[in-house]
Structure 1
Amino acid sequence: MDSVKNGHLQASLSHVPFVITPSAAVEVESRVISMAISQNGEHLAISHWDGNLQICDGDGRQVNLCPIEGRAGVVVATPSGGFIVGAIEGNLHAVDTRGNIAWEYEVGGGVEDLQASAGGIVCLDGAGKVHMLDSNGRAKNTIEANSAQSLVYDRRGNTLAVISSDGSVRTYSPSGDMILERQPRNDKGERITAACFDSTGHLVIARETLGLAAQGEDEVEVEWWTPLGELVDIQGLDTRCTALTSYSSGVLAGTFAGEVYLLDRAQERVDVWKSEYAINSLTHFGVDVLVASWFHLYRITFATENRTEEPTWQVEHPGIVDFVSLDKAQEVLCIGGEDRNDYTGEEPVLILDPHSEPKWLDAEGDDPWVQDLPVDETASPVGELDISDDYSELLTAEEQAQLAAGHGARLPSQDGVGDSAGGGGSGGTGEEVDLPIAVSVLGEGVADELLSALNTELEDDESASVDEVTSHEDLMAGLVEEVGGHRISPVANSGDDRVVATGEDGTAVVRLDGGDSYDPNERIQRWLWKDGRGKVIGEVAKIRVRLSNGKHRFELSVLDDDGVWTTDTTFITVQ
């Protein structure tokens, strides 16, 4: 069982109602560090933190799991249909769609960055050299670039830009001749935060000043350089530029503050969209743009008469979206990432059809676009509560006596789906149960100790009159109010990982039980169960699902009335 807090889910569910459903989810054994889909969309390559390269078909079925000497790192797709893989501590490898190594190219110190285009392959090694190769792995040129940190290749392979950690940028022709040498404009240091080539071959660079900006300069600026190395335009931005991508009429820029702009060399800046969180990446998608921000990928339509204030659709990933990959025809979309939490399982890679019809996500009830997992006709269906309304066996003898006498706080039962477990919850429809208010919030022992200490203090105070002594009921009501005033996150509990056996039909009916989830203030408002593909399969504490052989991942999220979500993951292995 793994837990992770996430206080940001509510806004995304309520603000973006249209979603598309993943067609497949690829489970991974260790953290994803790079991924690419083949240009024909038929295969997917995933580099794992453990060093293996996983090859899958377009339906997410594993074709091969290849150990790469030196540990698989950056992976890119090639025009020929295969992949190029740079080892973190080894060489450059060409791998076909079956996982076979076609050729190997020796580099020093491992591969730091890697790009491929119609013009060939370029890689940056750990020794500070840039290697320019043809598509068969034969060396064409080698460039010394000791402080280089990343590479940018134009789509035609005509120009290579080498970005250095000191803020300098150099561009090279396919023959290795230097075209442009851009030096930092600020002697106190600056860095390049994003770069791309636009559709006309201009190099676009986003820079950030690390010290005080010079007079007449902005701390964050976007520069335009011609293919011949001439600076032709500078545009200021309010916050750090985190992503740049080419667009037909300029470039799209994403910022740390969540803005997405369309920029061109005529000093025009068009507001495209605003996310609540920083922009991770931008991907040109037809006339639209795919925006990765926090745990979501959004499709933004802005250049046609169909433009709306809300995204055309969104996809929520179990992790922060680090990787977005499209095939050449833009018919297949893959998303990967991780949640930055050591206590959770590895997040899957999602495969989607980006052109599929968006469906309305009803955040208040059952999700109408989700295909329910098949369930046993005799078992409780998905969404059915399976808990008892009789609390008497949970009470002590003293509490049962108070219940019979009609004393104590009145708490609603859990008959209402998504209702609070404490007084003040919305929508309670079940019968009320009497429990002592001190016990229900603080626990019997804690309440007795507090009362004893307070009574002793009052007895020692000779000036205290009878009118000044707080009654038992008023005192405990005040304590409950004080405790309830603090924002304490709920705790999701999806249950332990389990191994279950199949029945005669080769499947198993499994009960997913989130009943041990709790909120210190007894204010859980919603439960949300998702399967390994991110589909919502239930919105109550306990559900039943029918599973086939294999390892299945389920995620439970609970929400309190402060709008805070927490999430827990469980794995069910059927064998």
Structure 2
Amino acid sequence: MVMTRAANIAFKPEHKITMLCLSSSGQFLSWADQSGSVSLASVGKNHTLDVKGNWHAPGTVVGLCLRGQRAYVLDDVEGLFCVNQQGEVDWHVPVAGGGFSLHEGPTDMAVVDALGRLLRVGYDGSPTDLTSQFEGILKAMYVSEFLVLSFEDGSVKALNGSQVVWNRPVRGEVGESITALGMDASGHLIIGREGYALVDGEEEALEMETWCLNGQGLLFRSDLKTRLTHITPGLGSVVCGFDNGSVTHYKDNQHQELLNTGFAVQSLMVRQNHVVVSSWFYLFGVEEGSEPWKIEHQGMPMLLESSNDGSICFFAGEDQNDWTEPEPIGFFSLKSEARDADPSELTEWFQRPDTEPERSAEEIYRVDETVENLLTEEERMLMEKPPVIGLDSLHAALDDFAFASPDDQAQGTLNVDAESLLDDLDDQLSSMAMMPDEGLFDALNEEVVAPIAPVPAAGEDQVVTCDEDGTAVVLLDGLGSEDPQNRIVMWSWVDSTGQEIATQARAKVRLSAGVHRFELRICDSEGQWSSDTIQLTLK
């Protein structure tokens, strides 16, 4: 037996869900799907969704947040849109490089474009003037009143308004990457970092740092055994999620494991004393002093949203299989009691068949006059005329057969040629037999087309001339990959450090002078990965 919580389907989409956002009160939900459609819905008393409006973004939606009854939508083509409850655009701010990520702040939003540049926009659509320009941003988040940015080179900066008020210097001889940004309950900045090894095969440095952005500097630094990927305030300090599935409560410079999912943590949230994490095809949760529980989903529930009090939680994800139907948006409540269940019962909530509504006896046995109203007067008379049943009608039906004289037959019997009657019936049955037509035989005999594995193509090696600042923007283009049967389901561009920089077929990168190598990885519908590399020489 396992512990679980009651889950139900909130909405069945037509396309796979890519973004999900819930207002803090839990009264308004918005989501985006793979087609670029954005839906806005109010949440009813029984957690039913009433879709108020829909809007279709010009490109792929890469960011979504809610403020009141308005959705702020960032796409990778046109930029940032404010969409009201009716699905109408109130205002639009173009983003020259196309959107990459959207981050909600107390007074404005931080927009990072596809080239890692920063744009700050108020909730009324007014831009914020920045005293400095930033490029190469990989991560961003608000920590209290500060906007914290991490960059490709491993540096981290904090802005208060438009001014840079704090810098974290880069550490390590061969570079580092910031694996996570977050904050604790006291408003301190928490950073997960990975220092690169000097030689392949050597152990890389994994650490966690706690910083005070109000002038006290570094407070703590501790070594980690696995990569820190998620940080969220809660339980009086901070809760951490790792790529090995471990979830810990970090307090007094010590990690106490709350649960281990066995798979990489995909999302993490804390509501009061409840910790909820998504990992693989499950949601896992634990409350202090209680037994852990889990909910199984049809897809990988990477999207997890909850009201502030945890009374309503929505989740969504997809199974990364283009041949299956879109996975539903599910919901549950942290206010309900967890219960024991057999593991086989965990899938019942999304496998439950649609049932017809119950009908009363009056509805079942009522006289339906709708068909009768469509009949002609002649058809009504035929229906009202009683059927004629008797020996005369039987004689008429068998008038093709010869009858013997009354002297040659027994009283009450017919002299029918049985052999002739059977032959006639056999002919009728043969004509009624449902034989397959030639088209069906052709389809059955058609040769099955063997699957053709796609072949990745990162493009030819290039030599690029840098601009005056010693850098250049280069387009990584994998659209030349051979895929005659449209079997590619995932794209990934990886740099020479092994870090993924894009998940689309095409990506723009700004590079400095030198030699750079990138690897294009593709995954087909069979789950098979293949790759190709490209070398860029910038002079």
TM-score bracket for this pair, using the shorter chain length: 0.5 to 0.7
CA distance in 2, matches of 1:145, 1:367: 47
- What residue is the counterpart of 1:233 in the other structure? 220
Residue 171, structure 1, aligned to residue 162, structure 2? no
Residue 187, structure 1, aligned to residue 180, structure 2? no
- What residue is the counterpart of 1:57 in the other structure? 42
Matches within 5 A, 1:385-396: none
Matches within 5 A, 1:272-287: 272-287=258-273
Matched length: 351
Do 1:362 and 1:368's aligned partners in 2 also have CA atoms closer than 8 Å?
no
Matches within 5 A, 1:232-271: 232-264=219-251, 266-271=252-257
CA distance in 2, matches of 1:183, 1:202: 17
2:341 to 350, 361, 365: 361
Do 1:151 and 1:161's aligned partners in 2 also have CA atoms closer than 8 Å?
yes
1:200 to 186, 196, 199: 186
Residue 291, structure 1, aligned to residue 271, structure 2? no
Residue 132, structure 1, aligned to residue 120, structure 2? yes
CA distance in 2, matches of 1:55, 1:43: 8
- What residue is the counterpart of 1:437 in the other structure? none
- What residue is the counterpart of 1:324 in the other structure? 304
Residue 293 of structure 1 and its aligned partner are, at CA, apart by 1.2
- What residue is the counterpart of 1:19 in the other structure? 5
Residue 365 of structure 1 and its aligned partner are, at CA, apart by 7.9
- Residue type of the partner of 1:60? L
CA distance in 1, matches of 2:357, 2:311: 36
Residue 171 of structure 1 and its aligned partner are, at CA, apart by 0.7
Distance 1:147 1:301, change over 3 A: same
CA distance in 2, matches of 1:202, 1:28: 39
Residue 237 of structure 1 and its aligned partner are, at CA, apart by 1.2
Residue 288 of structure 1 and its aligned partner are, at CA, apart by 1.8
Residue 314 of structure 1 and its aligned partner are, at CA, apart by 2.3
CA distance in 1, matches of 2:357, 2:190: 58
Residue 110 of structure 1 and its aligned partner are, at CA, apart by 1.6
State percent identity of aligned pairs: 24
- What residue is the counterpart of 1:77 in the other structure? 66
- Residue type of the partner of 2:160? S
Do 1:55 and 1:97's aligned partners in 2 also have CA atoms closer than 8 Å?
yes
- Residue type of the partner of 1:74? G
SS at match of 2:119: strand
- Residue type of the partner of 2:107? G
- Residue type of the partner of 2:177? R
1:342 to 307, 311, 322: 322
Residue 221 of structure 1 and its aligned partner are, at CA, apart by 0.5
Q: Which runs of 5+ in 1 are unaligned?
A: 1-13, 378-575
CA distance in 2, matches of 1:76, 1:26: 19
Report the TM-score when normalising by structure 1. 0.56
Do 2:188 and 2:211's aligned partners in 1 also have CA atoms closer than 8 Å?
yes
Distance 1:367 1:164, change over 3 A: closer
Distance 1:64 1:259, change over 3 A: same
Distance 1:376 1:329, change over 3 A: closer
Residue 144 of structure 1 and its aligned partner are, at CA, apart by 2.0
CA distance in 2, matches of 1:95, 1:352: 27
- What residue is the counterpart of 2:286 in the other structure? 300
- What residue is the counterpart of 2:19 in the other structure? 34
Query: Which structure ranks higher in relative contact order (CA pairs < 8 Å, sequence separation ≥ 6)?
Result: 1
SS at match of 2:342: coil
Spell out, residue by residue over 1:396-423, the C-alpha distance to the aligned partner (whole angstroms, 9 max, x if none).
Answer: xxxxxxxxxxxxxxxxxxxxxxxxxxxx
Distance 1:64 1:18, change over 3 A: same
CA distance in 2, matches of 1:179, 1:367: 50
Do 2:271 and 2:309's aligned partners in 1 also have CA atoms closer than 8 Å?
no
SS at match of 2:129: strand
Residue 314, structure 1, aligned to residue 294, structure 2? yes
Matches within 5 A, 1:388-427: none
Residue 270 of structure 1 and its aligned partner are, at CA, apart by 1.6
1:150 to 139, 158, 170: 139
**RMSD of the TM alignment (CA)?**
3.0
CA distance in 2, matches of 1:150, 1:366: 35
Residue 141, structure 1, aligned to residue 129, structure 2? yes
SS at match of 1:140: coil
- What residue is the counterpart of 1:107 in the other structure? 95
Residue 223, structure 1, aligned to residue 209, structure 2? yes
CA distance in 2, matches of 1:139, 1:376: 52
Residue 245 of structure 1 and its aligned partner are, at CA, apart by 0.8
Spell out, residue by residue over 1:538-571, the C-alpha distance to the aligned partner (whole angstroms, 9 max, x if none).
Answer: xxxxxxxxxxxxxxxxxxxxxxxxxxxxxxxxxx
- Residue type of the partner of 2:134? A
Distance 1:268 1:188, change over 3 A: same
Residue 207 of structure 1 and its aligned partner are, at CA, apart by 0.6
- Residue type of the partner of 1:152? M
Spell out, residue by residue over 1:124-149, the C-alpha distance to the aligned partner (whole angstroms, 9 max, x if none).
Answer: 12243212232212112335221101
Residue 69 of structure 1 and its aligned partner are, at CA, apart by 2.7
- Residue type of the partner of 1:205? I
CA distance in 2, matches of 1:321, 1:151: 23
Do 1:291 and 1:300's aligned partners in 2 also have CA atoms closer than 8 Å?
no
CA distance in 2, matches of 1:244, 1:57: 30
- Residue type of the partner of 1:236? D
Residue 367 of structure 1 and its aligned partner are, at CA, apart by 9.6
Distance 1:103 1:365, change over 3 A: closer
Q: Which runs of 5+ in 2 are unaligned?
A: 359-539
CA distance in 2, matches of 1:366, 1:208: 37
- What residue is the counterpart of 1:386 in the other structure? none
Residue 152 of structure 1 and its aligned partner are, at CA, apart by 0.7
Distance 1:26 1:376, change over 3 A: closer
Spell out, residue by residue over 1:97-140, the C-alpha distance to the aligned partner (whole angstroms, 9 max, x if none).
Answer: 33222221222112211111322221112243212232212112
- Residue type of the partner of 2:225? D
